[in-house]
């Protein structure tokens, strides 16, 4: 089976306590832990330049099934799990609103496995999505 990989920067994310809760309740069907990673899909200019902003990637429903210290540091972690991410097929719709055609474009949210490197102090890192 062919797998596509997409790597993005994590610009902000949950605390260590929230990560541990996501791990703890990953397989409990009626548990909902509100936590999300703010992931940059792209940048308006090269990162680090003044005025640079990022375009957030739509994600939801994070589940962590593995969490490990990275290199013995108490703030760096390697994570893996699955979530919903807007990396699916592009969809378009056109509808009339007050006599004007309004066009909408979006990507479908699909289920994806991920692996991430994350620093709980800076709340930054990188994440790779694996799409089958």
pTM, full prediction? 0.83
DSSP one-letter string for 63-104: EEEEEEESTT-SSEEEEEEEEEES-S-EEEEEEEETTEEEEE
Domain that holds residue 35: 4-131
Report the distance separating Cα 109 and Cα 105, nearest Å.
13
Q: How confident is the model at residue 132 (pLDDT cuts 50, 70, 90)?
A: confident
Q: How many domains does the chain have?
A: 1
Please name the helix (run of DSSP H) or strand (run of DSSP E) that holds residue 19, with its range, or none.
Answer: helix 16-24
- 29 vs 66, higher pLDDT: 66
Q: What was the pLDDT predicted at 124?
A: 96
Q: What was the pLDDT predicted at 31?
A: 85
Q: What was the pLDDT predicted at 116?
A: 97
> Could you read off the pLDDT of 70-105 as tens digits, one per residue?
877 789 999 999 999 998 777 777 777 787 777 777
């Amino acid at each position: 089976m062919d797998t596509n990989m997409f790597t993005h920067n994590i610009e902000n994310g949950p605390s260590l306590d929230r990560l541990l809760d996501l791990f703890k309740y990953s397989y409990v069907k009626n548990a909902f832990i509100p936590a999300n990673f703010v992931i940059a899909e792209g940048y308006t200019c090269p990162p680090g330049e003044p005025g640079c902003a990022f375009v957030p990637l739509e994600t939801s429903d994070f589940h962590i099934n593995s969490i490990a210290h990275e290199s013995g540091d108490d703030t760096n972690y390697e994570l893996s799990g699955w979530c919903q991410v807007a990396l699916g097929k592009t969809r378009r719709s056109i509808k009339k609103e007050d006599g004007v055609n309004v066009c909408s474009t979006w990507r479908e949210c699909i289920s994806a496995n991920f692996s991430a490197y994350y620093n709980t102090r800076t709340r930054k890192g990188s994440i790779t999505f694996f799409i089958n």
